């Protein structure tokens, strides 16, 4: 908030007290922001004119979502009792003057956010009491019904204004800008430095923020002067009571500048209240903040003096305080003054005795203390008479916002347990009832107390269970979202402050007892809580063990510690093997929290043996029980440091592959695909790191046990499944981590040649189906990585084809056919067509992956030539795929693959009785027409095709003439097709018709009736567009002339 201006004709100095207020709860949320205004209508600090910023901080989400939230301003004038009185009248009196309120609910809810907008907050002035009385006597009929008198408390006044929403402001009011800033104070200072600087007043919330951060330090006690009732004494009218508040120590010395009326100004030593004119029961509701050093709180008290103020200066000087009250800030048991209302005893002022703190501090300060003493003694309390008690009454309210002071007697009792050891049992039990905010404030002290109790009673186990439960309670508390920022504080305590060398014995003993007796209902909740706290319990156990070994050098307890860990795991195993309905909540908790202890316990326990214990633990769980939780548990094991050690992986990986294999088995009943892929991907991620030692054997194990399972899972999975991408990524990761020897070894694991055929067939079909079709097209890196891994796998599998399925006896036509279709699909995949990318993107791909099209294209050429006498089995079926490969616009690739056409011509010529290559020619013409019409081919391709075929044919004894004719024919066809494709977008119908006629005449000469008819209809469509209906009909006639009329005669009988 930024206060830009305050427009009001007061004529005296004024104080503006602004705060946040909830009218539904009738409570102030923040302390006051104080602005002092001078009699000339300017800020006291003139340099702050039009710029008085304040940041209301520590507001939680629950504060911002209140149904109604108001910014309220109380205006106090500082001057004489009544306005415009002469010099003989008393000055410097704080008198109520008016209020201003603004509904800021929409801003708090985020519905309005215009930081430049200046909001006008109308000012409601209150009428002077003397003015009202005069009006009632002289002109009572003219007195407005809604005049608000000065003796109404200001809080009541702004509640009226909020409810009626009617303000007769006459143009008077405040001008402010408002903006909601997210984040804590340090974050806001960093992100919004243009709003919050060193001149900004920080207005604290009267309470703690939603989340208490470590390092958050406060020691504020808010004191509210509520109300009082004062006897008029000898006066004919009620007193004009002024309350004077100060803070003193036990010796009566004033604590300088300990009271803060509002943010924006330094502290003051004595606070003087507003004066209500001749009111018997004034209600102030004025809040100030008392801030003193933590070490002084125990010896300080609040002192309140009451004084009648006269409007006549001469008479006022003779007025002395008529009453005094006090209250200690800390009670006798060491706890801070409780929050809430306090009914104070008002003592009569005896100048000597009331100024002697040692005298009055022996007396009770509040009526609650009197009641407490009467309850303890069973007798009616009799005042000593040292200082007389008046009939007056006075109430204050207090609220402690301190990270160092506690109002909780149970917590204090635990912290000071040595002074009352007989109450230790009770204090430990009651600790679980202490509010969390209190415990985190004293986290280190509380933990020290718990471990001191454990260490100092080490010979007995009297308090072991209670200390264990208390420790679990604290750890669980810090796991709460409100206090989770204290995790680093707990970590620091364990690493730097914790010193209980024997705690591990006690903690493991109690934990073993809980787990070993899990069948007892009375222990179930305690065990569940302990399991949730297992991570930090073991942090304490391990640190204690480390400190013990560091201090004593070697273990004097033999294998007792190791045996306790083994016993714990045996108890876990027994528990997990019980029927599912027994303790399912506990079983789930064990699976969730057990992995959290691995990284710590491996420091004091043999890692390999720990791996064995974890393996047996997983194996103890029945196959069909808690499958997802079990897989999640194993996932956390893999993420632990244990899995980074090769010797531990030797133990753990067979377990992991067995479990995954069982889940992904073809006959598995509804496997949990999501949990399985999470585990598998975690395993593969960790094996692909550089800091995990040798992994070759581990990759081989995964390959043997899981590659085929993953393949079949992907094949059977719907392409719309959200998990298909995850499984494809896992398959890619396995193939990526396999080296050449892995591939060779994997093929050797198949028992029969048919098994290899089945594996390769499903792999080729799967690769073709998945390539670039699962991940989004703009995931370029992922798609290229997948294609690169597939390319390497294809090259490996091509060697298997050459080795096992090339000879005459074992040749597999369908397998080879699938191979060629896969490689061509790979070669022509859109992700590899570099020409479609920008130059920068093309360079990046070439630098990282190279042009993978060339690699696979050369492999297609080599594999074709390897076919030898089997080539004829692929003609004409492979003409189209090879044509697709040759049309890819990469010069080297074209030069390498176009000669395959000549080889096909030669092959058909040699293996057909007619010594021709008609099948090849017809298929090539058909496919060429389709490909060029689809956008493939260019002038360079036409030239290279003609040149390459002519070179090869002219060197051939039998194909020199027929081959040359085909080469020129293809060149002519390409020229016509390219011209036709280019002209189809031309606006001239005549040109388009001319090109179409050229193409159809070509096909008519070649007697390719099927393609000829297709172009006839293209020509007809062009005529129809031009409305040449006669020409369109003649075009259809050309088709009709090709048809043979078949007449069938029917005998019709009447």
- Going by pLDDT thresholds of 50, 70 and 90, the confidence category of residue 914 is confident
**Token output for 845:** 């791909």
Mapped onto helix, strand or coil, the DSSP state of residue 303 is strand
Question: 352 or 431: which carries more pLDDT confidence?
Answer: 431
CB atoms closer than 10 angstroms to residue 114: 11
* Beta bridge pairs of residue 149: 127
User: Residue 343: which H helix or E strand, with range?
Assistant: strand 340-348
With a cut of 60, say whether residue 291 has pLDDT above it. yes
**Whole-number pLDDT of residue 985:** 64
Q: What is the secondary structure of 355-408 as a DSSP string? A: T-HHHHTTS-SBHHHHHHHHHHHSS-----SSS-EEEEEEEEEEEEEESS----
pLDDT in tens, 334-362: 778 888 999 999 999 876 676 788 888 88
- Going by pLDDT thresholds of 50, 70 and 90, the confidence category of residue 1048 is low
Q: What is the DSSP letter of 261?
A: S
Distance CA 763, CA 823 (A): 12
Q: What is the DSSP letter of 497?
A: I
With a cut of 60, say whether residue 322 has pLDDT above it. yes
**Whole-number pLDDT of residue 478:** 86
**Token output for 759:** 């594996």
Distance CA 364, CA 378 (A): 17
**Whole-number pLDDT of residue 539:** 92
The maximal CA–CA distance of the chain, rounded, in angstroms, is 146
Contacting residues for 87 by C-beta, under 8 A, at least 6 apart: none
pLDDT in tens, 934-956: 888 899 999 999 999 999 998 88
**Token output for 304:** 């309140």
Lowest mean pLDDT across 380-394, 453-467, 678-692: 453-467
Distances (CA, A) of 497 to 381, 500, 948: 48, 10, 83
Q: What phi and psi, each to the nearest 5 degrees, are found at residue 702?
A: -65, -40
Distance CA 767, CA 761 (A): 10
Distances (CA, A) of 1011 to 229, 804, 849: 111, 41, 41
pLDDT in tens, 530-573: 999 999 999 999 999 998 888 877 666 667 888 999 999 999 99
**Token output for 251:** 């010796």
**Whole-number pLDDT of residue 131:** 42
- Going by pLDDT thresholds of 50, 70 and 90, the confidence category of residue 1049 is low
Domain 2-203 has CATH 2.60.40: yes
Distance CA 285, CA 156 (A): 10
With a cut of 80, say whether residue 389 has pLDDT above it. yes
With a cut of 80, say whether residue 801 has pLDDT above it. yes
Burial class (CB in 10 A: 0-12, 13-18, 19+), 817: middle
CB atoms closer than 10 angstroms to residue 50: 10
Contact 717, 709 (CB under 8 A): no
Lowest mean pLDDT across 65-69, 93-97, 330-334, 571-575: 330-334
The alpha carbon of 58 is separated from its chain's Cα centroid by a whole number of angstroms, namely 21
Comparing CA positions, the residue from 203, 223, 247 lying closest to residue 33 is 203
Kindly tell me the sign of the dihedral angle through the C-alpha atoms of 502, 508, 511, 512.
negative
The alpha carbon of 604 is separated from its chain's Cα centroid by a whole number of angstroms, namely 34
Mean pLDDT of the chain: 85
Comparing CA positions, the residue from 37, 2, 55, 64 lying closest to residue 263 is 55
Contact 229, 218 (CB under 8 A): no
Comparing CA positions, the residue from 546, 543, 448, 446 lying closest to residue 491 is 543
Q: What phi and psi, each to the nearest 5 degrees, are found at residue 788?
A: -65, -40
> What's the alpha-carbon Rg for the chain, to the nearest Å?
46
Query: CB under 8 Å, gap of 24 or more: what pairs does 658-663 form?
Result: 658/705, 659/618, 659/630, 659/631, 659/634, 660/705, 660/706, 660/709, 661/705, 661/706, 661/709, 662/623, 663/627, 663/631
Lowest mean pLDDT across 405-419, 805-819, 971-985: 405-419
pLDDT in tens, 256-267: 999 999 998 999
In percent, the amount of the chain with pLDDT more than 90 equals 41
The residue behind tokens 């024997």 is: 502
- 2-203 and 219-402 in the same fold: yes
- Going by pLDDT thresholds of 50, 70 and 90, the confidence category of residue 998 is confident
Domain 219-402 has CATH 3.60.15.10: no
Distance CA 876, CA 855 (A): 25
Q: What is the DSSP letter of 127?
A: B
Contact 647, 608 (CB under 8 A): yes
**Whole-number pLDDT of residue 287:** 95
- Where are the domains positioned within the chain? 2-203, 219-402, 1005-1054
**Token output for 1050:** 């029917």
**Whole-number pLDDT of residue 684:** 93
Comparing CA positions, the residue from 29, 2, 12, 160 lying closest to residue 97 is 12
Mapped onto helix, strand or coil, the DSSP state of residue 245 is strand
* Beta bridge pairs of residue 173: 7, 122
* Beta bridge pairs of residue 119: 176
pLDDT in tens, 468-498: 998 999 898 888 877 777 788 888 888 888 8
Report strand pairing: 241-249 vs 70-79.
unpaired
User: DSSP 3-state helix, strand, coil percentages of the chain (rounded to 5)?
Assistant: 55, 15, 30
**Whole-number pLDDT of residue 458:** 64
* Across 965-989, average pLDDT: 79
pLDDT in tens, 865-894: 999 889 999 999 999 999 999 999 999 999
Ranges assigned E (strand) in 59-207: 70-79, 93-103, 119-125, 173-177, 201-203
With a cut of 90, say whether residue 209 has pLDDT above it. no
Distance CA 652, CA 642 (A): 9
pLDDT in tens, 78-91: 998 887 656 678 88
Contacting residues for 99 by C-beta, under 8 A, at least 6 apart: 72, 73, 74, 75, 123, 124, 126, 154, 157, 158, 161
Q: What is the DSSP letter of 204?
A: -
Lowest mean pLDDT across 158-162, 627-631, 765-769: 158-162
Distances (CA, A) of 356 to 307, 347, 349, 350, 364: 18, 13, 11, 10, 15
Using alpha carbons only, give the angle 131, 136, 137 rounded to the nearest 5 degrees: 100
Q: What is the DSSP letter of 268?
A: B
* Across 58-63, average pLDDT: 86
Contacting residues for 9 by C-beta, under 8 A, at least 6 apart: 41, 172
Contacting residues for 234 by C-beta, under 8 A, at least 6 apart: none
With a cut of 50, say whether residue 137 has pLDDT above it. no
Please state the pTM of the whole predicted model.
Answer: 0.68
**Token output for 734:** 């396995």
């Amino acid at each position: 908030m930024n206060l830009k201006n305050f427009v009001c004709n007061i004529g005296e100095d004024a104080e503006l007290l602004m705060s946040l207020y909830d009218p539904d709860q009738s409570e102030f949320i923040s302390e006051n922001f104080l602005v002092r205004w001078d009699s000339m209508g300017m800020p006291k600090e003139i340099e702050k004119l039009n710029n008085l910023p304040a940041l209301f901080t520590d507001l939680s989400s629950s504060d911002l979502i209140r149904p109604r939230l108001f910014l309220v301003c109380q205006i106090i004038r500082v001057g004489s009792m009544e306005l415009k009185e002469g010099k003989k009248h008393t000055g410097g009196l704080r008198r109520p003057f008016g209020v201003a309120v603004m509904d800021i609910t929409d801003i708090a809810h985020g519905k309005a956010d215009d930081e430049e907008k200046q909001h006008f907050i109308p000012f409601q002035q209150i009428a002077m009491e003397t003015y009202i009385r005069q009006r009632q006597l002289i002109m009572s009929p003219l007195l407005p019904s809604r005049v608000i008198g000065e003796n109404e408390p200001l809080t009541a006044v702004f509640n009226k204004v909020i409810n009626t929403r009617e303000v007769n402001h006459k143009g008077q009011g405040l001008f402010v800008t408002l903006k909601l800033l997210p984040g804590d104070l340090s974050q806001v200072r960093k992100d919004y430095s243009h709003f919050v600087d060193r001149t900004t007043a920080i207005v604290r919330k009267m309470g703690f923020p939603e989340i208490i951060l470590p390092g958050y330090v406060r020691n504020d006690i808010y004191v509210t002067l509520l109300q009082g009732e004062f006897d008029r004494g000898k006066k004919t009218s009620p007193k004009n009571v002024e309350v004077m508040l100060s803070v003193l120590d036990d010796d009566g010395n004033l604590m300088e500048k300990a009271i803060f009326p509002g943010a924006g100004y330094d502290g003051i030593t004595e606070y003087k209240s507003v004066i209500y004119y001749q009111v018997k029961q004034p209600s102030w509701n004025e809040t100030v903040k008392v801030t003193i050093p933590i070490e002084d709180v125990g010896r300080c008290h609040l002192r309140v003096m009451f004084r009648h103020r006269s409007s006549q200066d001469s008479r006022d000087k003779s007025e002395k305080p008529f009453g005094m009250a006090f209250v200690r800030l800390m009670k006798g048991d060491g706890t801070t003054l409780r929050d809430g209302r306090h009914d104070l005893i008002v003592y009569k002022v005896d100048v000597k005795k009331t100024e002697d703190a040692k005298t009055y501090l022996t007396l009770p300060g509040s009526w609650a203390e009197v009641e407490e003493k009467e309850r303890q003694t069973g007798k009616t309390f009799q005042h000593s008479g040292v200082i007389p008690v008046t009939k007056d009454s006075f109430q204050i309210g207090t609220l402690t916002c301190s990270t160092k002071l506690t109002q909780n007697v149970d917590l204090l009792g635990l912290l000071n347990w040595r002074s009352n050891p007989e109450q230790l049992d009770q204090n430990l039990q009651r600790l679980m009832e202490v509010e969390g905010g209190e415990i985190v404030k004293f986290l280190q002290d509380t933990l020290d107390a718990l471990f001191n109790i454990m260490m100092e009673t080490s010979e007995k186990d009297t308090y072991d269970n209670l200390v264990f439960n208390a420790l679990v309670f604290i750890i669980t508390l810090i796991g709460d979202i409100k206090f989770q920022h204290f995790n680093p504080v707990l970590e620091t305590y364990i690493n730097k402050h914790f010193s209980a060398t024997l705690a591990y014995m006690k903690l493991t003993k109690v934990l073993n007892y809980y787990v070993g007796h899990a069948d007892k209902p009375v222990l179930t909740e305690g065990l569940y809580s302990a399991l949730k706290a297992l991570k930090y319990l073991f942090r304490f156990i391990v640190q204690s063990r480390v400190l013990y070994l560091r201090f004593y050098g070697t273990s004097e307890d033999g294998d007792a510690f190791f045996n306790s860990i083994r016993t714990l795991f045996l108890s876990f195993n027994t528990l997990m093997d019980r029927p599912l309905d027994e303790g399912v909540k506990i079983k789930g908790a064990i699976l969730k929290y057990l992995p959290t202890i691995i990284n710590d316990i491996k420091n004091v326990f043999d890692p390999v043996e720990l791996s064995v214990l974890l393996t047996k633990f997983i194996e103890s769980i029945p196959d069909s029980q808690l499958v997802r939780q079990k897989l999640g548990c194993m996932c956390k094991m893999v993420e632990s440091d244990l899995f980074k050690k090769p010797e531990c992986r030797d133990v753990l990986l067979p377990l992991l592959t067995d479990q995954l294999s069982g889940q992904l088995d073809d006959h598995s009943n509804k496997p949990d695909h999501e949990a399985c892929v999470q585990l598998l991907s975690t395993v593969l991620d960790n094996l692909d790191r550089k800091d995990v030692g040798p992994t070759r054997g581990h990759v081989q194990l995964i390959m043997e046990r899981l590659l085929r399972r993953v393949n079949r899972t992907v094949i059977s999975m719907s392409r719309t499944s959200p998990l298909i991408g995850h499984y494809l990524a896992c398959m890619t990761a396995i193939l990526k981590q396999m080296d050449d020897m892995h591939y060779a070894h994997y093929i050797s694991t198949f028992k029969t040649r048919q098994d290899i055929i089945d594996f390769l067939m499903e792999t080729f079909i799967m690769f073709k189906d998945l390539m670039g079709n699962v991940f989004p097209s703009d995931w370029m890196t992922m798609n290229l990585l997948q294609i690169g891994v597939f390319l390497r796998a294809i090259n490996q599998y091509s060697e298997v084809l050459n080795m096992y399925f090339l000879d005459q006896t074992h040749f597999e036509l369908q397998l080879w056919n699938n191979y060629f279709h896969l490689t061509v699909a790979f070669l022509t995949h859109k992700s590899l067509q570099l020409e479609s990318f920008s130059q920068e993107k093309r360079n990046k791909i070439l630098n990282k992956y190279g042009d993978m099209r060339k690699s696979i294209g050369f492999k297609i050429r080599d594999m074709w030539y390897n076919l030898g006498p089997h080539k004829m089995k692929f003609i004409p079926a492979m003409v189209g795929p090879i044509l697709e490969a040759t049309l890819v616009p990469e010069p080297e690739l074209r030069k390498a693959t176009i000669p395959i056409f000549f080889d096909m011509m030669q092959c058909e010529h040699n293996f057909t009785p007619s010594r021709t290559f008609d099948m090849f020619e017809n298929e090539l013409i058909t496919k060429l027409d389709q490909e060029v019409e689809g956008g493939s081919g260019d002038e360079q391709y036409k030239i290279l095709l003609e040149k390459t075929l002519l070179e090869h044919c002219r060197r051939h004894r039998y194909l020199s003439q027929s081959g040359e004719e085909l080469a020129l024919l293809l060149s002519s066809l390409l020229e016509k097709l390219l011209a036709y494709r280019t002209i189809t977008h031309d606006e001239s119908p005549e040109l388009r018709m001319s090109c179409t006629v050229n193409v159809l005449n070509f096909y008519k000469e070649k007697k390719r009736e099927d393609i000829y008819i297709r172009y006839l209809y293209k020509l007809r469509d062009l005529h129809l567009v031009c409305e040449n209906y006669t020409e369109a009909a003649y075009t259809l006639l050309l088709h009709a002339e090709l048809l043979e009329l078949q007449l069938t005669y029917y005998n019709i009988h009447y």
